[in-house]
Amino acid sequence: MSAFDFFAPRASHSWKFTNPGDTHTGTITEVSDARQATEYGSNELAYWDKERTRPKMQVAVTLDTTERDPQDANDTGKRTLWVVEDGRSGSILSAIRQAVHQAGAGAIDIGGQLTVTFSGFDPNSKNPANPRKIYTAAYQAPAPAGGMFTNQAPAQPVAQPAAAPAPAAPAPAPAAPAQPVAAPAAPAPVPAVPDAVRQAVTALIATGQADEQIAATLAGTGLPVTAETVATIRATAA
């Protein structure tokens, strides 16, 4: 993407986190280059310090989601997540970095699934009237190349050697003693819960929501999960 494309209007809405527990999930389609942020409500460039020596940088992450704005007939579900270069614990950037590490990935990638949750406010915020928001995140890396739905040609079957003539049947052996009845097969293990689902559920459990409420919240973000699964994750986390 060129620098001109970056500043072009985007046909997408931004993710908003208004209330604790707000959660959004999407599949990453684009990550922009870093650019300097602007002050809220103006076009003035933003800095971390009063001396204006440390520019506040940010990137735009574009995601495909199941979200739709009923007031926008042209809403395609694309959403933009603005990630500010803020390394403090609980920031969106720190939450994503932790989620990527837990997923065993090096960085977010196109095709990866990202979930971000506004989990609460910083109790030690310097401005209690406008406390800093705390976020958690979950990340699921895309399938590796060469997996399902690739253009790889199927493996050709290996020719089997011709069967040798069967030897003469030996004399019948004495009857073997009766074998004990085999024990019934163990039940199949319960399928593992994907890391993205487990991390999103754990983040919402921390907000104090009930199992049914958590299941309903995640169902609206594209992460189908039942209240029973939430209860199981809650029990294992206790």
CA distance 172 to 22: 74
Q: What is the DSSP string of 184-215?
A: PPPPPPPPPPPHHHHHHHHHHHTTT--HHHHH
pLDDT tier at 200, thresholds 50, 70, 90: confident
pLDDT digits (tens, 9 = 90+) for 39-69: 888 889 999 999 999 999 999 999 999 999 9
- The whole-model pTM stands at 0.59
Look at residue 5 and tell me whether its pLDDT is greater than 70: no
Residue 2 φ/ψ region, left for φ over 0, alpha for ψ in the -120 to 50 degree band, beta for the rest:
beta
pLDDT digits (tens, 9 = 90+) for 108-156: 999 999 999 999 999 988 888 889 999 999 999 998 754 343 344 545 5
Domains and CATH numbers, the chain: 12-144 (2.40.50)
The beta-strand segments (E) located in the chain are 13-14, 23-31, 35-36, 57-64, 78-84, 113-121, 133-140
| Average pLDDT rounded to a whole number, residues 100-111 | 95
CA distance 91 to 45: 20
**What pLDDT score was predicted for residue 182?**
60
